[in-house]
Structure 1
Amino acid sequence: MPGRQNPTLRQRRIGAELRRMREQAGLGGNQLARMLGVSAPQITQMENGKTSASADRIQSIAEACKCENLPLINALGGLITSRRKSWWDQYRDHLPDALLKSAEHEDFAAGAIRSWTSAIIPGPLQTEDYARGVFNRRIPPLPADEINLRTAFRSERRRKILRNPRKTLEAYLHESSLVTRFGGTDVLRKQLHSLIDDSLREDVSIRVVPFTAHTYPGPIENLVYSLGEVPELDTVEVELSRSPIYLDDPTELASYRQVFDRIAQAALSDEDSQDLIRQTLKNLKG
């Protein structure tokens, strides 16, 4: 049976963990296939996320690889049994895959979502007018109906995160994002008011790295770090100009955890960040 052509982030991640499990056991694909009584191409397809692995199959692979990481095994099994139709599927044939993957990444998170942005308000915190201002700056310009669709998608993405009791959002912003005007001064003013309102939510933390910080603590690229059911299932999204990339190698995850620790050390507290946003609002002219 031919495998799926475009595996979801969840399917790719399950496959990547199965491949990592096999490699840590020092087994080749052919060896594992013989142990399980399947063909080598089936192992390759599973590890690429192109065919599904059942919870029983994951257990069999873990036993063959002598993996004793029970929390990880159970978490992978949970990802299998929690498969469902996702809210962004209705946009699948109408919006770029990169936008859908960002929503899927946030949905994939089991707990906290940590973000870092330098010159733009994070997507889940954007107002509709601000998001429209972001999409309006594309070159070549997007058609009006596509801008409307992208804006609706961004608003739905915001609701899915801020109204999800299982998730918390930790947003780190550089102060430059508070003064960059996507859509004009009035749009930015309403966006800053919205930021203050969001910062008062129990499940949202908004912390600003001020211009006066002794160094620029984060990368130029925007980041989203999602915490999985277990640390092995954490994922990093690095936003690039063409399309985001997703990282899950343990060494890379450890590196980005240090990046966020450094950003947190440079950022103001939640309360001082609220004061800075209010002061920026007070000084906003135009």
Structure 2
Amino acid sequence: MPPSKTPPSIRQRRLGTELRRLRDQAGLTVTRAGELHGSPQSRMSNIESGGYPVSADRVRTLAHLYGCSDDALIDALTHMTGGRTRGWWEEYREILPAGALDLAELEHHAVSMRIASAVHIPGLLQTPEHARALFQDVVPPLSPPQVEHLVSHRIKRQAVLYGEKPIPLSAIVHEAALQMGFGGPNVARAQLEHLLAMSENPHVDVRLIPFGTGSYPSSGAGIVYFNAEVPRLDTVQVDGDRSEFIDTEPQLVKYRAVMDRLETNTLKPDASRDLIRRIAQSI
């Protein structure tokens, strides 16, 4: 199988990263691993960078070579094999930043998701009008076509919450996000009504942190926690001055704890819905 001519997706890069971690745990250099596997060092390096698509059989062979006996992890890794996933987000490859496509791909493959947001309604729960108001307020300003591409991409991402097997979503939102009023009263009210309607779905859990709680771990940064088939393959997106994806075990442990801590500060779902209604009625 020849090296990929297009940049590897975040899923391909993650597979390579995990194979490298297994090799490191086995105490093997990339050169020695190549010798044992019968592959040149350059190919092994390309595999670990995600630039060389690998088969499920090759993944199992490498896992055995590295002494990995975690069957659940190996099975999950084999599900990440092959070429780039030709998801709907590929149509935006020459239009939007790579991070936007990575986000859509992670959402598509997530088993479940946890989101925490202090200032914004989570993108998966936004209306088109609300999203448009946000993108129109970007500095430096975006062109109208850029705004519409971003809006359409954001709305298409929401498909993971619909269909026969919608993913479970837990959203922790600070009351401040509901009071921002993006787009004016009509847009803001419609957004809160949409958030309320989404929270009625059995797979969508919306919980609010009200003003006066006095604690918000993570310094207000937006957090998206993507749960994978096995916890080792989870990913975190932290949205601060710049968005970054994190997948090291210490960071995963940290952000699981952060999300747990945040949840202890939230209202229960029914109380959260009551607060959403009151704010919507006051606009």
**Under a length normalisation based on structure 1, what TM-score does the superposition of the two structures give?**
0.94
Q: Which moved more, 1:76-85 or 1:255-264?
A: 76-85
Confirm or deny: 8 A CA contact 1:116 1:171 kept in the other structure: yes
Aligned twin of 1:249:
248
Confirm or deny: 8 A CA contact 2:238 2:245 kept in the other structure: yes
Classify the secondary structure of the residue corresponding to 1:180: coil
Aligned twin of 1:50:
51
Letter paired with 2:181: R
Classify the secondary structure of the residue corresponding to 1:213: coil
Please report how far the alpha carbon of residue 19 of structure 1 lies from its aligned counterpart in structure 2 after TM superposition.
0.6
Aligned twin of 1:74:
75
Q: Deviations over 1:7-38 (max 9, x none)?
A: 10110110011011011111111111110011
Q: Which moved more, 1:122-131 or 1:72-81?
A: 72-81
Aligned twin of 2:32:
31
Confirm or deny: 8 A CA contact 2:236 2:252 kept in the other structure: yes
Please report how far the alpha carbon of residue 164 of structure 1 lies from its aligned counterpart in structure 2 after TM superposition.
5.9
Please report how far the alpha carbon of residue 4 of structure 1 lies from its aligned counterpart in structure 2 after TM superposition.
4.2
The 2-side partners of 1:192 and 1:186 are apart by 10
Q: Give unmatched runs, 5+ long, in structure 1.
A: none
Q: Give unmatched runs, 5+ long, in structure 2.
A: none
Aligned twin of 2:168:
168
Q: Deviations over 1:75-123 (max 9, x none)?
A: 11112269641011111112222221211121131x2111111101000
CA 1:256–1:4: 2 relative to 1, 3 Å: farther
Confirm or deny: 8 A CA contact 1:171 1:207 kept in the other structure: yes
Letter paired with 2:280: L
The 2-side partners of 1:70 and 1:33 are apart by 23
**Under a length normalisation based on structure 2, what TM-score does the superposition of the two structures give?**
0.95
The 2-side partners of 1:137 and 1:159 are apart by 25
Aligned twin of 2:7:
6
Please report how far the alpha carbon of residue 6 of structure 1 lies from its aligned counterpart in structure 2 after TM superposition.
1.8
Confirm whether residue 148 of structure 1 aligns to residue 148 of structure 2: yes
> Which consecutive aligned stretches of 4+ in structure 1 deviate over 6 angstroms post-superposition?
none
Amino-acid identity (%): 35
Please report how far the alpha carbon of residue 157 of structure 1 lies from its aligned counterpart in structure 2 after TM superposition.
1.0
Q: Deviations over 1:217-254 (max 9, x none)?
A: 34321110011011111110111334x21111111111
- State how 1:1-286 maps to structure 2 within 5 Å: 4=5, 6-80=7-81, 84-109=85-110, 111-163=111-163, 165-242=165-242, 244-284=243-283
Report the number of matched residues: 282
The 2-side partners of 1:219 and 1:35 are apart by 47
